[in-house]
Structure 1
Amino acid sequence: MGVNLKPIIVKNDIELEDLRDRDLAVDSSNILYQFLSTIRTSKGMPLTDKNGHVTSHLVGLLYRSTKLIYEYNIPLVFIFDGGAPTLKAEEMKKRAQRREEAKEEYERALERGDFDVARSKAMQAAGFSSSIFQDAKILLEYLGIPYVQAKGEAEAQGAYMASKGDVWGVNSRDYDCLLFGTPRLVRYLTISASRRPDLVVLEDFLDHNGITREQLVDMAILMGTDYNKGIYRVGPKTGLKWIRRHGRIENLPDDKKKKVTPHYEEIRRIFLEPKVVEDYSVEFKGLREEQVYSFLCDERGFPKNRVKTAVERMKQFYEREI
């Protein structure tokens, strides 16, 4: 879910053209979830092949990614989550419970023929299996699009790569990327004409609010993160006011400090000293055309003419890069 910084965020509305030639690290879980929750049948079911394998994420990955890479020349590097910190277990349990509740509501809506509600609940019930990530990696491999398997959180790995200058920024909807230190966060990287991307520049955001990144992390801990429950009724504006006034969690008055999670120092380290992979590649590897057709058309039942469109984009992209 990530930290809600929207009320105090400083963003720039940009065009896709503004991202031309800008390498971006993509938070794979974040993006694949969008595909899984939105690319569905009229009854809210995900797209599947004849054997029941979910293909919604492959549809989005194939068509949107190749279009962004070829038509807008935005090189994408996909980052996959590794092991989550122990403190995230409770949040993951809550998410699983919410998905299960949404699934039950979806089934009840289907029974009464309320397909609008069914579709909405199906989107909320969308989850991941290991095969979904594996299929995504296979497709990226055959298209030659680079990906990195993170040690920990994908946002942390992407932020590290951006801070090193190996990518220009991170594409995710989660503001957590800013806590992990990405210099630039691109939200809503979509080919839809109805939505323009948002660009958040970390330095501008921090300067505008008069805080450091370390203070941003402390503020997030007060509000609540994926690793802790926040203080009741402390949102971004209140959290910002407290941190501006007191500087850091240790300086809070006792009546406030006693409400802070006892794990705050460990959570700080998660954001400020995350586990990352240092040996990675952002280079495109070349198209494996036969394998793309075999995997998508023969194994997953994609129409060959639609796959051809994406393949031609990648062929022309590689020809242009030579």
Structure 2
Amino acid sequence: MTLIQEKAPKAIKSINLDLLTGKIVACDASMAIYQFLIATQTMKQGMGIGELRDSEGNLTGHLVGLFHRTIQFMENGVKPIWVFDGKPPELKSYVLDQRKENKEKAEEEKQTLIDAGDLEGAKRMAGRSVRVTPEMMEDAKKLLRMMGTPVIEAPGEAEAQCAIIVKLGLAYATASEDMDSLTFGTNVLLRGFNSKKEPIIQIELDQVLQGFQLDQEQFIDLCILCGCDYTTNIPGVGPVKAFKYISEEGGTIENVIKRIEKENDDPKKKKKYTIPETFYFKEARELFKIPSAIHDKAVLEPQMKWNKPDEEALKEFLVERKGFQDIKVENGIKKLKATAGKTNQARLDCFFKAGAPKTSTTSSKDKKPATKQTGGLQFNNKKSMPAKAK
């Protein structure tokens, strides 16, 4: 993100949610669920970290977040498609193992900090130790389908599938915090929906490429060199050095490696970088270019249907099974039903091509309240109890 701010500042815009009215957005559900679980954690003096759970002790913060985020989108005339992760690539196994190890360490450190009375530190560790089970994912899909929202189960990475949906012209943008969405080729990336005070950040890929003076294939190599989930990186090569190498060496990692090896062979120069044997850049490149995803528009389109919410099923699931407040669910359903016409409306200024788009130029006097501008949520689940140590 810092590199884009420096080299391609025109690619980044601050926008309000109402500027997305009439647009379809492919949402990275897996990423959002982690964010919701972290956002619904609270600190309770003498009780440790509080989390939203049902009567059986199952976490429900992700369901609260999805329920309110979907309604928020629909109220603003935005049509979300929720995309879920499938099987991770084999190339990601090392990263996943590392994350699992880090979560276990964070869980241990969290408990130590709770015992020491450091709730701020414990909450920080709680965010790093969040685990999402297959059952939680299935509950999330069930909820969204009851709400009448399209759910797409990707064969591989959700952000890759979102990018394909956008590239096929089936959605305007990908909503995800994962910058790999740009590497997979989404035309527009939307970030920052979880902030209550800050506007949404829109990043346009064509402007990134223009600012970097790279094409998409060269950009993929840059991202791999900067560090990605699918291979180890070259120790000591960060974004600044990676950009310099890619820009000066024809935009390919092969040329960068030749330069590094040549520099290493120069007796007058100190050996700076070592290429690890596990630097699987060619495999990572292919994965970014042709990810495991549904690429057929004819297969995707039938799955992108918005239906009426199933009121009774929602009440039974959220109130009876998950312990949500009846009044909150009733109000949510009413809002959801009231959005039927809004999601079919496009902003009036979409029909006028003259003039610059309205983005970060909005004056402070014209700004709407933060809950309308951003992805800020208010969580209303009635059950909140401390997390159980595992």
TM-score calculated relative to the size of structure 2: 0.78
**2:67 corresponds to:** 62
**1:298 corresponds to:** 320
2:305 paired residue among 271, 279, 283:
283
Counterpart of 1:112, as a letter, is: A
Matched, 1:219 2:236: no
Residue 26 of structure 1 aligns to a residue whose secondary structure is: strand
**2:201 corresponds to:** 198
Matched, 1:32 2:54: no
**1:100 corresponds to:** 104
Q: Contact 2:74 / 2:342 at 8 angstroms: preserved in 1?
A: no
**1:271 corresponds to:** 288
Kindly report which structure 2 residues correspond to 1:239-250, keeping only aligned pairs within 5 A, or say none.
239-247=242-250, 248-250=252-254
Show structure 2 runs of 5+ residues with no match.
262-273, 345-390
TM-score calculated relative to the size of structure 1: 0.94
Residue 50 of structure 2 aligns to a residue whose secondary structure is: coil
Q: Give per-residue Cα distances to partners, 1:156-203, cap 9 Å, x unaligned.
A: 1000000011000100011100000000000112472x1111111000
Q: Give per-residue Cα distances to partners, 1:263-288, cap 9 Å, x unaligned.
A: 22111111011121231222202210
Matched, 1:156 2:160: yes
Matched, 1:179 2:183: yes
CA distance in 2, matches of 1:87, 1:34: 24
Counterpart of 2:286, as a letter, is: R
Q: Contact 2:234 / 2:279 at 8 angstroms: preserved in 1?
A: no
Matched, 1:310 2:329: no
Residue 126 of structure 1 aligns to a residue whose secondary structure is: coil
Matched, 1:88 2:92: yes
Residue 340 of structure 2 aligns to a residue whose secondary structure is: helix
2:57 paired residue among 52, 57, 82:
52
**2:128 corresponds to:** 124
CA distance in 1, matches of 2:240, 2:25: 30
Q: Contact 2:315 / 2:326 at 8 angstroms: preserved in 1?
A: yes
Query: Alignment length, in residue pairs?
Result: 319
Q: Give per-residue Cα distances to partners, 1:62-98, cap 9 Å, x unaligned.
A: 112212212x111100100011110100000111111
Show structure 1 runs of 5+ residues with no match.
none
- Structure number with greater CO (CA < 8 Å, separation at least 6) is 2
Counterpart of 1:14, as a letter, is: I
Q: Identical aligned pairs, as a percentage?
A: 29
**2:360 corresponds to:** none
Residue 170 of structure 1 aligns to a residue whose secondary structure is: strand
Aligned-residue offset at 1:121: 1.1
CA distance in 1, matches of 2:31, 2:130: 12
Counterpart of 2:66, as a letter, is: L
Residue 339 of structure 2 aligns to a residue whose secondary structure is: helix
Aligned-residue offset at 1:5: 6.0
Aligned-residue offset at 1:318: 2.4
Q: Contact 1:8 / 1:236 at 8 angstroms: preserved in 2?
A: no
Larger radius of gyration: 2
Aligned-residue offset at 1:254: 2.8
Aligned-residue offset at 1:40: 1.5
Q: Contact 1:27 / 1:171 at 8 angstroms: preserved in 2?
A: yes
CA distance in 1, matches of 2:256, 2:291: 25
Instruction: Decide which moves more: 230-239 or 101-110.
Output: 230-239
Q: Contact 1:102 / 1:122 at 8 angstroms: preserved in 2?
A: yes
Residue 268 of structure 1 aligns to a residue whose secondary structure is: helix
Counterpart of 1:134, as a letter, is: E
Residue 251 of structure 1 aligns to a residue whose secondary structure is: helix
